[in-house]
Amino acid sequence: LAVSEALTNIVWAPLADGLDSVSLSANWMWACRSQAGEDARLYKAVQALSDFCCALKINVPTGKDSLSMTQQYPDGSKVIAPGTVIVSAGAEVSDVKKVVPQVLVVDTNTTLYHIDFSFDMLQLGGSAFAQSQGKVGDEVPHVQDAEYFRGAFLAVQELIYKRLVIAGHDISAGGLITTLLEMCFANRKGGMEINLDALDESDIVKILFAENPGVVIQVRDKCKEEVEEILEDSEVGFVSLGKPTFKRHLLVQKNGKHYSFGIDALRNTWYSSSYLLDCKQSLNGCAEKRAENYKKQPVELYFLPSFKGKFSQYHINPDRRTPSGIRAAIIREKGTNGEREMAYSLYLAGFDVKDVMMTDLVSGRETLDDISMIVFCGGFSNSDVLGSAKGWAGGFLFNEKAKETLDRFYARKDTLSLGICNGCQLMMELGLINPEHEKRGQMLHNESHKFESSFVSVVIPKNHSIMLGSLGGSKLGIWVAHGEGKFSLPYKEEEYHVVAKYNYADYPGNPNGSDYSVAALASADGRHLAMMPHLERTIFPWQNAYYLADRMNKDQITPWIEAFVNAREWIAGNAQPL
């Protein structure tokens, strides 16, 4: 089942060579030599996994072994961890834009199908349901026919290649009922009306809670005939389950009996475990705030009417191989890790990109004299051991050549600079955004005092920054990933050139508790921008955790690319001759 779950998770991506693309990693955790029989059990488990993978024609080239999972105490007592294997799957994707989302599409002109991957009777042994009853059980589901499993996998892949599946979810922990509910949880509207009469099992509990490998897919009614033909030709077992509904419930029917589940109430139950863990990890009441707001803060998007979503709108050539003559430098320190996404964003917008290490500046090898824009990328410079960007800032402040180079660059009137995440922290630490202020703003630990990684929406107010000025009035989705992202600003909001604000003032929509919900600040003249969220990780629709559904498959690019294009165009019109 570990292998089958890894594969039913990865099946939603169109793989370059189907199942032949897949490689597995197996992490064995076993209490070997701790008591009689454990070594034999491990051997038997490895043999079973090997046989199954050979039958599927996939490899397991790597993994990790933890074979001393035993804790012994001075009184002689001993605790033995249960034998476990964790399997991860990886593969080359043929087209990332065809990856199927797990979110129910609330369209009554669609149908939900159950596709069986196990070729086995429904069993409850080892299931989450059994464990919730204080039991384990002795009859567990199996994949009875590896060749059948392979055929089911490839059939779903064919449906995805042909764009016939608009949503899908694997069946694993929690069974079919959890699969259906999770598809609904991810959409704030609508529900499902399901009829289980076509399933060859009379026990409603087994139908809903058995964890036999399988998937649920959603297809448009106009494509049903083609979908069913492909599944039948592949000799794969499937049944029609039902349809979405605009009512916020999951209605299940079996043999004339109806069972109604309130989606929002069950989502609270589903979330409760996360809340209890959050309480142990988050400070300052952030766990309670997340529990209060997690259903009240949807990602909101608004694109300006002028945005067309096409490369041609910005005169972008993604296949460009000739220099443009407009040069940007990425400056990085040990621990910087966002330079590749940033370099590509700059290149796509028309820059020639240069890679500059701090050692180049400290030694004097790099002067930045031929550079029009510098970018400080995200990451964890010097592993954050001195605090975020503190050590990086010291590299400029306490090295004469690096400081002279930076001062000379900022003294020019034809330059731009951008700091993202760790780079934003650096710019604030060096006072590069508001050098006129007597009291400097600071970047503090997130209000939750833990690392925050999430997809949020930001509002771009009317502003006169070079990069974000044309996006004023937009609401855009963006990734955040930081531990010290709280803007602590000593002056009133109007003393700052705020160019991006989190869409919600409260946590988690404001992930760090920044004053005035600030996500980005610009210098008074608009040329220099310090921003905590990662716009360079959100330039393509497929990079977004949420995107406007009617534009997802139409747009080549997101509005964030405009920031980089604006920078290139400004430099082209303002650069001074060398």
Q: How far is CA 361 from the centre of its chain?
A: 35
Q: What span, in angstroms and rounded, lies between the C-alpha atoms of 104 and 540?
A: 22
In sign, the C-alpha dihedral spanning 477, 478, 482, 488 is negative
8-state DSSP, 559: T
**Rounded alpha-carbon distances, angstroms, from residue 159 to 12, 141, 175, 413, 419:** 10, 26, 23, 56, 43
Active site residue 534: yes
User: Considering 421, 447, 528, 569, which one is annotated as catalytic?
Assistant: 421
Helix H, strand E, coil C: the string for 434-467 is: CCCCCCCCEEECCCCCCCEEEEEEEECCCCCCCC
Q: What span, in angstroms and rounded, lies between the C-alpha atoms of 342 and 337?
A: 10
Q: What span, in angstroms and rounded, lies between the C-alpha atoms of 159 and 161?
A: 6
Cβ count within 10 A of residue 494: 8
In the chain, helix, strand, coil percent, each to 5? 35, 25, 40
Instruction: Give me the residue label for tokens 């392979």.
Output: 150
Output the furthest CA–CA distance in the chain (Å, rounded). Answer: 82
Q: Are 167 and 104 in contact (CB under 8 A)?
A: yes
Cβ count within 10 A of residue 213: 25
Structure tokens belonging to residue 441: 């703003």
Active site residue 53: no
Active site residue 452: no
8-state DSSP, 336: B
Query: Which has the closest alpha carbon to 565: 479, 497, 466?
Result: 466
Q: What is the dihedral of CA 216, 218, 240, 207, to 10 degrees?
A: 30
In sequence order, what are the residues at sequence separation of 6 or more whose Cβ sits closer than 8 angstroms to the Cβ of residue 44? none
Cβ count within 10 A of residue 557: 21
Cβ count within 10 A of residue 280: 7
Instruction: Give me the residue label for tokens 């705030």.
Output: 289
23-29 and 84-90 as β-strands: parallel, antiparallel, unpaired? antiparallel
Query: Which has the closest alpha carbon to 496: 474, 517, 473?
Result: 517
Q: What span, in angstroms and rounded, lies between the C-alpha atoms of 334 and 382?
A: 6
Q: What span, in angstroms and rounded, lies between the C-alpha atoms of 471 and 499?
A: 10
User: Considering 333, 339, 536, 569, which one is annotated as catalytic?
Assistant: 536
User: Considering 211, 534, 562, 569, which one is annotated as catalytic?
Assistant: 534
Residues labelled as active-site residues: 421, 534, 536
